[in-house]
Structure 1
C-alpha cells in the first residue's frame, strides 16, 4: 500500500488534488532520506571541510520530514501548511545548490532528490492556489 492509496481513501479527499499531494509527500520523504544519508556519508569523509553540506543536508532532512508528515494529514485546516511547503521549497533549493558543488555520489543524488522535492512542492502549491 502506498501513500496514494491511503490518501485516496481519506474522508476529505475532495479537498485536495490527490496526484499532486501524493507526489509532494513522497518526494519530501525521499528527499529526507537522501539528505540524511548524504549527511552521514559526508561525516565519514572530511567532516570539517563538509560542515556546511552536513548542516544543510540535516536541516533539509528535518524540514522535508515535517513536510511529508504534514501532507499525509491533508484535512482542511487553514493556510499554514502552505508556509511549511514554501519553507521546504526554499530549503531544498539551498541544499541542492550546496550539494551541487560536490562530486560525491551522495551529493549528486541528494541534489537530485532536493530538486525533485522542490518541483513537486511548487506544483502542489500552484494547484492549491487555483
Structure 2
C-alpha cells in the first residue's frame, strides 16, 4: 500500500482526503482528552462526597497495633500479625506512613489518625527502630 502511494503522483483529491482525515483525527483526539478530564473530575467529586461515610463506616474500620514484636492489623472479620523480621523498610510520603513488607505488601497508616505531627514522627521513628533491631 505504501509503495503504491509513493509511485503514484499525488492529486488534489488525495490532499483533500488526508486533510479531512487529519482534522477528524485531531477532533477525535481532542474529544477523547476532554472525556478523560471529565471522567477524572466526576470521579474526584464522587470520592469527595463519599469520603466521610467511608471513613466512618464500621465495616471498613481497621486498627493497626504496633509493638516491639510485631505489627497487628485488625478488621471486623480477621486479624493478621506481621513480625518485624518480615518488614523490608518504611517511609513517609503524602501524609501517610508506609510499612513495606518482604512480600511487597504494605501497611498504610494515615497521619491524620495521630493527634499531632510530632506523634506521627515518634511512631515513624519507632517503626524504623524496630526494623533496624530485627534485621
Interval of TM-score (by shorter of Structure 1 and Structure 2): under 0.3
Q: Which of the pair is proportionally richer in strand?
A: 2
Flag the structure with more relative contact order, 1 or 2, with Cα contacts below 8 A and sequence separation at least 6: 1
Q: Which of the pair is proportionally richer in helix?
A: 1
- Which is higher, the Rg of structure 1 or of structure 2? 2
Alignment TM-score, normalising by the size of structure 2: 0.27
